[in-house]
Amino acid sequence: MFSTRSRMSKIVVQVLATLIVIPYILPLVAMVQGSFAGRGIGNYQKVFGTGVVGTYFRNSIIISVGTIALVYVCTMLAAFGFAKLRIAGKEAWFWVLLAALTMPEAVLLTPLFVTASTFDMYNQLIAVILPLAALQVPFAILLARNFFEGIPTALMEAARVDGANVVKVFWYIVLPLTRPIAAAIVVLTLINSWNAYLLPMLMLNDPSKQVVTLLPSFFTSQYTNDQTGVLAAAVITAVPVIIAYLFLQKSFERGLSAGALK
């Protein structure tokens, strides 16, 4: 955007960018530094010593994978339907889904809590997966529909003429073209499900069913005032999601520019 032909302007751009990112990295530095304060690596040993880290991670992974799978299936099918097929009252259906985008988790609390208790789903991971997916699907469909609209219909018509049915067209022609937007949806859903706090806190009371976002508060309740241990717990929780993001970063950005919000 800025033309940087002269050496001077190159330096100015570089310095400005550096100044902007400094406040963004400082809290992370404080986190890592604090987690090693005092007993160094011993803080981490103490967190792993609680014996719950593995359980919490396993639960978080199940919830994330389950939510991503559900969101992916719902979104891909629905986005194709909205973008490329005939639906009576299409925009009305679309708005029904979009309105759910405004849904605050807080409104879900009472109904979900009571429903889950009634159907004996309290303390089951599925009681977190379903609402997380339901909250994520509207936004995912909004992004994906835009992307699907951009795939030329002629491409699909050609396959139809050759005798493929709609399901085959979707499977062999459309799906392989949707990888960028799928990556964006996977990353956004991963962030939201891995980081979910309120729903797991409410629905999962059983210690064997808790998730990584509850690790720092678990540690606080076990060892009051062991701040360094809490920070080590925070680092342990943060590292996997940062690594996952680094792996998916390129396709995530590509997907977002292709699905572009409007």
The least CB distance from residue 180 to other proteins, in Å, is 6
- Cβ 259 to other proteins shortest distance, Å: 8
Longest pairwise C-alpha distance within the chain: 71
Among residues 45, 205, 208, 257, the one that binds other proteins under rule CB under 8 A: 257
Q: How far is the CB of 218 from other proteins (least distance, A)?
A: 11
Which phi-psi region, left, alpha or beta, contains residue 2 (left: φ > 0; alpha: ψ -120 to 50)? beta
CB of 220 to other proteins, least distance (A): 7
Shortest CB 51 distance to other proteins, Å: 20
Output 55 or 217, the one with its CB closest to other proteins.
217
Rounded CA-CA distance 209/201 in Å is 10
Q: How far apart are CA 187 and CA 231, in angstroms?
A: 25
Interacting residues with other proteins between 1 and 30 (CB under 8 A):
1-4, 9-10, 13-14, 16-18, 20-21, 23-25, 27-28, 30
What is the DSSP code string of 154-202?
HHHHHHHHTT--HHHIIIIIIHHHTHHHHHHHHHHHHHHHHT--HHHHH
Distance CA 197, CA 137 (A): 18
Q: Which is nearer to other proteins, 51 or 154 (CB)?
A: 154
Q: Name the minimum Å distance from CB 155 to other proteins.
A: 9
Whether 229 contacts 246, CB under 8 Å: no
Pairwise CA distance, residues 40 & 34, whole Å: 9
Contact mark string toward other proteins, 95..134, x via CB under 8 A:
-xx-xxxxxxxxxxxxxxxxx-xx-----------xx-xx
Instruction: Count the neighbouring beta carbons within 10 Å of the beta carbon of residue 225.
Output: 8
Q: Classify residue 88 by burial, with Cβ atoms within 10 Å: 0-12, 13-18, 19+.
A: exposed
Residue numbers 158-217 binding other proteins by CB under 8 A: 160, 166, 169, 176-177, 179-180, 191, 194-198, 202, 212-214, 216-217
Interactions with other proteins, residue window 43-102 (CB under 8 A): 70, 73-75, 77-78, 80-82, 84-88, 90, 93, 96-97, 99-102
Rounded distance between C-alpha atoms, residue 146 and residue 188, angstroms? 16
Segment 222 to 241, residues that bind other proteins, using CB under 8 A:
227, 230-231, 233-234, 237-238, 241
Nearer to other proteins, 54 or 152 (CB): 152
Residue 146 CB, nearest distance to other proteins (Å)? 7
